[in-house]
Structures are given as C-alpha cells and as structure tokens.
Amino acid sequence: MDKKYVYLLHFFVQVLVLLLFLCVKDHLSSLLYPQERSLQTDTDLCSDLLLALVDSADWLLVFQPNERGVYQPIAMVTSDELNRLMPWAFYSLLLQQSAELLRRAACCPGFLHTSVLCYVALLQLFLEGDALTPAGQPDQMEPFRILSHAKQFLLRVIPQTPPTALSSSRLRQLESQCADLDREVASALSVHLDPHSLSPEMDFL
C-alpha cells in the first residue's frame, strides 16, 4: 500500500477520533444537563462516528483518560468531572448500538480490556453516587440500568474473546481490579481467558 495513502488514512482516523471525543463530551453534557441539550442528537452523532471507527482501536482511547497517546492534549482541556464520567459515556453509548456494530467492536484489539476497565470505573462511580442521572432522562439512561446491562454485556463478550486477546499480566490486572467489586466478572475472566483454567466442560454462560 502506498505510504502516502497510509498516512492520509491514519490522519483521517485521527480526525474522526477527535470528533468522537468532542461528541462524547456533548453526549455526557446531555446526560448531565438534559434541559440544555438534545440527548438523541448527540447520541446519533456519536453512533455515526462509532460506525466509521469501530474497526480501529484508536476510538477506545477516547474512554481511557490515562492512555490517550496522541489524543492526550485535548483531554487536558477537559474537566476532571467529564474525564471521570467517560466510563458512563462508554456504556450508555455502546449499549444503544446494533448487534452488528457490537460484534465488530468486540473483535477490535483492546476492546475487552477497555470494557472491563470502564465497567470497574462505572461500578465505582455508582457505589460513590457520582453517576446519578438528572430527572427527565429516559429509563434506559438510569445508572443502575446501565450498570446492569453493562455487566450482562461483559459476561457475553468474555466467553467469545480468545485467550490470546489479553496478555497474562493484563489478565491478572483485570482480575485483581474486579475481585473486590464484582467476583462474577473476575471469575468469568479467569475461567475463559486463563489458559491454565480453561476446560471444555466449563461453560460460564
């Protein structure tokens, strides 16, 4: 493939990721201040960008404030509150997507790692009472409902993920982070992704 074409493609992806980042911020603002913004409009924009980016791992960096790489400068001008609520945005957006888009997302390198980290952070937000939805939002945007559906989603994705998708160190890290907050998710990670515990007779779901 021509180097110029590769460069342009990479630049195009970066532009789309930056646009997604800005749209996700608007989506969060819609959740926090429903009287000021149109949630459906902001969600539709995010969905269109996700559809264009879902096969590239770069879009996952939007939801990882500490691992944004080339996208870090724009994160630095984002409020701490919005950065902290990115896991909420991740699942509130993801759970509204089509089955086909979710299937493609699950095949994206780093998807499971990001999904588990966002779930753990979302659970912590919920336990701390920091993800409360203002009155007037649709029922599907309620934090407990998003949290419940996020867990169900994870428990479906984990068995479909090949053990090679995570290094041993990352798997141990995720298991450790889940252990005290959600033993069921930690157990699913161990059963399905630890090559030392895999067994044909064990089916978590």
pTM for the model stands at 0.85
For range 21-46, the mean pLDDT: 83
Q: How many domains, in total, are found in the chain? A: 1
**Mean pLDDT value across the chain:** 83
Is residue 205 in some structural domain?
Answer: no
Find out whether 153 and 171 touch, Cβ atoms under 8 Å.
no
pLDDT tens digit sequence for 112-156: 999 999 999 999 988 887 655 554 555 556 778 889 999 999 999
Is residue 203 in some structural domain?
Answer: no
Cβ-based neighbours of 64, under 8 Å, separated by 6 or more: 86, 114, 117
Is residue 81 in some structural domain?
Answer: yes
Asked whether residue 202 carries a pLDDT value surpassing 50, the answer given is no
Is residue 125 in some structural domain?
Answer: yes
Is residue 198 in some structural domain?
Answer: no
Asked whether residue 9 carries a pLDDT value surpassing 90, the answer given is no
Find out whether 62 and 86 touch, Cβ atoms under 8 Å.
yes
Task: Give residue 205's pLDDT.
Answer: 36
Is residue 201 in some structural domain?
Answer: no
Find out whether 100 and 53 touch, Cβ atoms under 8 Å.
no
For range 146-170, the mean pLDDT: 91
Residues spanned by the domain of 25: 3-193
The structure tokens listed for 200 are 């044909």
Is residue 136 in some structural domain?
Answer: yes
